[in-house]
C-alpha cells in the first residue's frame, strides 16, 4: 500500500455520473481507500444542504462545501468563510438589477431568486427541493458562503468577472444540466485549493500527500495545490491541460482506475 494520502473528491462529474448517482466502481474504491488508512474528503461547489444522504453514505472523513467556504471534519463544522457584507450587497444589487437567475448559499440552506425557479429545469428542482427557499429580505446576510448565477443576455460571465474579479473568487459553475451555464462567487482567497491546504494543515500533512480529483474550473486550484491533481476524462479541457494526470470518464470507471493506479484501493 502507498503511504497515507489525503484524498479530495469533487462530486458532480467526478464522484457522481448524474446528479447523485455514484457508480458502483467508485463506491468500492472509496470505501477500500479508507479501509487502507487514507483520508477521504468531498470537495464540492455544492452547499452543505445540497449533499444528499446517498452521497454521504459512501463514507467520508470530512466535507469541503461551497467551493471551499465551509469545512466539516467528522461531522463537526470547523471552518467557514463568508462573503463580506459590503461585497454581498453589491452583488445582490448587480444581479437583481439585471433580473438575473441566482442563488445565495448559507451552510444550512440556499436562497434562490424567482428567476431561478422559472429558469431551472424540473429535474434539478426536484433534486434540490428540500434545500432551497425563495430569496427575500429575511436571511442572515453575514453568513453567505457563495453566490451562484446563471448567464443570460444581461449577465455574462466575463462581465461579472470584470466587475467583481478584484474583490472575489469567480469560477465557472459545474451544474450538470444543459442550459445552466454560469458561475460561482466566493470571498477573495477562498476556493477548493485554500480549503485543501487548511485540511492538510489540520492533519499535519504536506501537500505532496494530497491527491485531488475534479472535472471543472472550480477544481483547478485544488488540483494545483495537491501533490497529484487528476482530471476526469469527461472534464473541462483546460483543466486536463493543467492537471498532472487525466483518467477515464466518470461513467466508465475513471475514478476507480485512478484510485488503483495510485495505489489507494
Q: What is the DSSP letter of 18?
A: B
Residue 123's domain is classified under what CATH number? 3.30.1240.10
**Residues sharing a CB contact under 8 Å with residue 115, sequence separation 6 or more, in sequence order:** 99, 100, 101, 102
Instruction: Write the DSSP symbol of residue 3.
Output: P
**Last residue in a domain, options 187, 209, 237:** 187
Sign of CA dihedral 113, 117, 120, 125: positive
With cut-offs at 50, 70 and 90, classify the pLDDT of residue 135: confident
Q: How do residues 18-51 score in pLDDT, each as one tens digit?
A: 777 899 999 999 999 999 999 999 999 999 988 9
Q: What is the reported pLDDT for 134? A: 75
| 70 plus 101 within the same structural domain | no
Is a pLDDT exceeding 70 seen at residue 259?
Answer: yes
Q: How many other β-carbons are positioned within 10 Å of the β-carbon of residue 3? A: 9
What is the reported pLDDT for 176? 54
- The total of structural domains in the chain comes to 2
**pTM for this prediction:** 0.91
Residues 22 and 66 in one domain: yes
Q: Please indicate, yes or no, if residue 215 is contained in any of the structural domains.
A: yes
Q: What share of the chain is helix, strand, coil (3-state, %, to 5)?
A: 35, 25, 40
Lowest mean pLDDT among 1-15, 120-134, 196-210, 226-240: 120-134
In three-state secondary structure terms, 185 is: strand
Are residues 27 and 107 located together in one domain of the fold?
no
pLDDT for residue 248: 97
Final residue belonging to a domain, choices 130, 163, 187? 187
Give whole-number Cα distances, 210 to 29, 127, 133, 228, 259, in Å: 17, 31, 36, 7, 13
Q: What angle do CA 122, 54, 139 make, to 5 degrees?
A: 60
**pLDDT exceeding 70 applies to what percent of the chain?**
91
pLDDT of 164: 98
Please state, as a whole number, how many other Cβ atoms lie within 10 Å of the Cβ of residue 158. Answer: 10
Whether residues 95 and 220 fall in one domain: no
User: Is the domain of 49 the same as that of 62?
Assistant: yes
pLDDT of residue 173: 81
pLDDT tens-digit map of 211-236: 999 999 999 999 999 999 999 999 99
Average pLDDT, the chain: 91
Write the CATH number for 55. Answer: 3.40.50.1000
232 part of a folded domain: yes
pLDDT of 120 over the 70 cut: no
Q: What is the mean pLDDT of residues 92-99?
A: 95
Cα dihedral 28, 33, 36, 39 sign: negative
The set of cell numbers assigned to 211 is 491527491
- Lowest pLDDT segment from 122-126, 137-141, 196-200: 122-126
Q: Is residue 1 part of a domain?
A: no
User: What pLDDT sits at residue 114?
Assistant: 83
Instruction: Please give the Cα distance from 119 to 114 (Å, whole number).
Output: 9
Q: Which of 122, 154, 187 is the last residue of a domain?
A: 187
Please tell me whether residues 143 and 183 are part of one structural domain: yes
The 3 state secondary structure assigned to 196-225 is: HHHHHHHHCCCHHHEEEEECCHHHHHHHHH
Domain enclosing residue 218, as ranges: 6-80+191-261
Where does the pLDDT of residue 92 fall: very low under 50, low under 70, confident under 90, or very high at 90 and above?
A: very high
Amino acid at each position: 500500500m502507498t503511504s497515507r494520502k489525503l484524498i479530495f473528491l469533487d462530486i458532480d462529474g467526478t464522484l457522481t455520473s448524474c446528479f447523485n448517482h455514484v457508480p458502483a466502481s467508485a463506491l468500492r474504491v472509496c470505501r477500500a481507500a479508507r479501509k487502507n488508512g487514507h483520508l477521504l474528503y468531498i470537495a464540492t461547489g455544492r452547499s452543505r444542504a445540497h449533499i444528499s444522504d446517498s452521497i454521504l453514505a459512501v463514507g467520508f472523513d470530512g466535507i469541503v462545501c461551497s467551493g471551499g467556504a465551509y469545512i466539516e471534519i467528522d461531522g463537526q463544522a470547523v471552518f467557514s468563510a463568508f462573503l463580506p457584507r459590503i461585497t454581498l450587497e453589491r452583488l445582490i444589487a448587480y444581479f437583481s438589477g439585471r433580473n438575473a437567475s441566482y442563488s445565495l448559499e448559507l451552510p444550512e440552506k440556499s436562497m434562490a431568486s424567482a428567476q431561478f425557479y422559472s429558469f431551472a429545469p424540473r429535474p434539478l428542482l426536484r433534486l434540490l427541493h428540500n434545500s432551497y427557499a425563495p430569496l427575500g429580505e429575511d436571511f442572515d446576510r453575514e453568513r453567505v458562503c457563495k453566490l451562484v448565477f446563471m448567464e443570460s443576455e444581461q449577465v455574462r460571465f466575463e462581465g461579472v468577472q470584470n466587475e467583481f474579479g478584484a474583490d472575489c473568487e469567480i469560477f465557472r459553475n459545474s451544474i450538470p444540466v444543459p442550459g445552466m451555464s454560469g458561475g460561482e462567487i466566493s470571498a477573495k482567497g477562498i476556493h477548493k485549493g485554500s480549503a485543501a491546504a487548511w485540511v492538510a494543515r489540520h492533519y499535519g500533512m504536506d501537500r505532496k500527500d494530497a491527491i485531488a480529483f475534479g472535472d471543472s474550473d472550480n477544481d483547478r486550484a485544488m488540483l494545483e495545490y495537491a501533490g497529484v491533481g487528476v482530471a476526469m476524462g469527461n472534464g473541462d479541457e483546460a483543466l486536463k491541460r493543467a492537471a498532472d494526470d487525466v483518467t477515464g470518464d466518470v461513467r466508465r470507471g475513471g475514478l476507480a482506475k485512478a484510485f488503483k493506479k495510485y495505489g489507494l484501493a
